[in-house]
Chains A and B, each alone.
Chain A
Amino acid sequence: MTEQTISTAAVRAQETTASTPAEVTLIVNGAPTPSSCATLAELLIALEFDGTAVATAVNGDFVPAADRTGHRLAPGDNVEILSPRQGG
């Protein structure tokens, strides 16, 4: 590789590392869950909830569906993903 190519490759490697969230542990529906998802929306996709009828809360606070894309997750966040269910 030329010096320019090595330098470009090095910058690209750094950028890739910086944009990939580190894996953290979330509590999802009561269970410790390792995740590298940056946002709640990404988490729902990773857990295969996208496209299904669910409601979400993080750390006890309701997160509307419209806000999931912008809701960034932090280590230890307690995430509730709830579905419609029979009830009395």
Chain B
Amino acid sequence: MNLIEKSHDAAAEPLTLYGVPLPSRLLLGTAQYPSPAVLNAAVSASGSAVVTVSLRREQARGGGQAFFDMLRSWDVRVLPNTAGCRTPKEAITTAQMARELFDTPWVKLEVIANDDTLQPDLFGLVEAAGELVRQGFQVFPYTTEDLGAADRLLTAGCEVLMPWGAPIGTGRGLANPYALSTMRNYFPGVPLIVDAGIGAPSHAAHAMELGFDAVLLNTAVAKAGDPVRMAQAFAGAITAGRLAYESGLMEARDMAQPSTPVAGTPFFDLGQQ
């Protein structure tokens, strides 16, 4: 297999997830913003058409309702997550609760194996994905670059895969771009979304240049010095990265090759005497 696959027929096609065409390839998380007003402005500035949300025990009466009201004021699709779930059962129950509350079959499926790395439990993830698909959910699994797990998730009925760039909230970008590129080439027809670990717009652009269909990020915008402007920056980077991919990047070379024509170089003969 030629891992440096340059032909890509997806030029200028909109992002489509589970049959839903979307105008933006930036999926945005809603957590950790300094205020609801900043969150509201950042979502608007991002142009994102999909936002992630969660379910949590209510600590202050009415707090959940206020966020819910804001959420419904946006023109976005809601993607509830099962963040914090450590077993398939927890994730399945959380997904069921989310489906009723948010009135959507979409679920960002997280089954977490380790509290420090928040890395996916691939075994539990596949088990939960299969059961949720059977229950009619449209699953967005948060996974790794593992091709075996990816195969199993697709066999279980997932139509989208969301491999991490780096552990959640680390901002380290694409920790293993080779593996991500391999994954992209291995599943050419599957919508792939890099989810987690993005820190800078250049990271998001890199993911898009590799051919990924979208990027999902939260902390990189929410914890930026100016989240609203950073949301704009990410939107621009993702658009640029996608355009670059569709345009066909040049192949990297080991040795220098002059970009200025050699013919007609002045003093050329003098230098060789």
By a beta-carbon cutoff of 8 Å, the part of chain A in contact with chain B is 29-30, 48-49, 52-57, 60-62, 64-65, 80-88
9 pairs across A/B with beta carbons < 8 Å? Answer: A56-B97, A60-B90, A62-B93, A81-B57, A82-B57, A84-B68, A85-B55, A85-B67, A88-B52
By a beta-carbon cutoff of 8 Å, the part of chain B in contact with chain A is 29-33, 39, 52-58, 61-65, 67-68, 71, 80-81, 83, 89-90, 93-94, 96-98, 100-102, 168-169, 218-219
| Contact (A87, B93) CB under 8 Å given A52-B65, A80-B57 | no
B28, closest chain A residue (CB) = A88
A88 to B29, CA, bound (A): 4
| Contact (A84, B29) CB under 8 Å given A52-B65, A62-B93 | no
> Across the interface, do B32 and A82 meet the contact criterion of CB distance under 8 Å?
no
> Across the interface, do A57 and B31 meet the contact criterion of CB distance under 8 Å?
no
With a cutoff of 8 Å between Cβ atoms, the chain B residues found around residue A61 in the complex are 93
A53 to B97, CA, bound (A): 11
Please give the distance in Å from A29's CB to the nearest CB on chain B. Answer: 4
A62 to B93, CA, bound (A): 6
Known: A52-B61, A85-B56. 6 other contacts (CB 8 A): A29-B57, A80-B97, A82-B56, A82-B57, A84-B64, A88-B81
A85 to B33, CA, bound (A): 12
A29 to B96, CA, bound (A): 17
A55 to B168, CA, bound (A): 26
A85 to B98, CA, bound (A): 11
With a cutoff of 8 Å between Cβ atoms, the chain B residues found around residue A85 in the complex are 53-56, 64, 67
Q: Which 6 A-B pairs have the closest CB atoms?
A: A83-B64, A87-B54, A88-B29, A88-B218, A55-B97, A62-B96
With a cutoff of 8 Å between Cβ atoms, the chain A residues found around residue B219 in the complex are 88
A48, closest chain B residue (CB) = B61
Please give the distance in Å from B40's CB to the nearest CB on chain A. Answer: 12
A49 to B56, CA, bound (A): 14
> Across the interface, do B100 and A87 meet the contact criterion of CB distance under 8 Å?
no
With a cutoff of 8 Å between Cβ atoms, the chain A residues found around residue B58 in the complex are 29, 49, 52, 54, 81-83
> Across the interface, do A86 and B101 meet the contact criterion of CB distance under 8 Å?
no
B57, closest chain A residue (CB) = A29
With a cutoff of 8 Å between Cβ atoms, the chain A residues found around residue B101 in the complex are 53-55, 82, 84
With a cutoff of 8 Å between Cβ atoms, the chain B residues found around residue A81 in the complex are 57-58
With a cutoff of 8 Å between Cβ atoms, the chain A residues found around residue B81 in the complex are 87-88
A68 to B188, CA, bound (A): 45
With a cutoff of 8 Å between Cβ atoms, the chain A residues found around residue B53 in the complex are 84-87
A64 to B168, CA, bound (A): 31
Please give the distance in Å from B98's CB to the nearest CB on chain A. Answer: 7
> Across the interface, do A57 and B65 meet the contact criterion of CB distance under 8 Å?
no
> Across the interface, do B65 and A86 meet the contact criterion of CB distance under 8 Å?
no
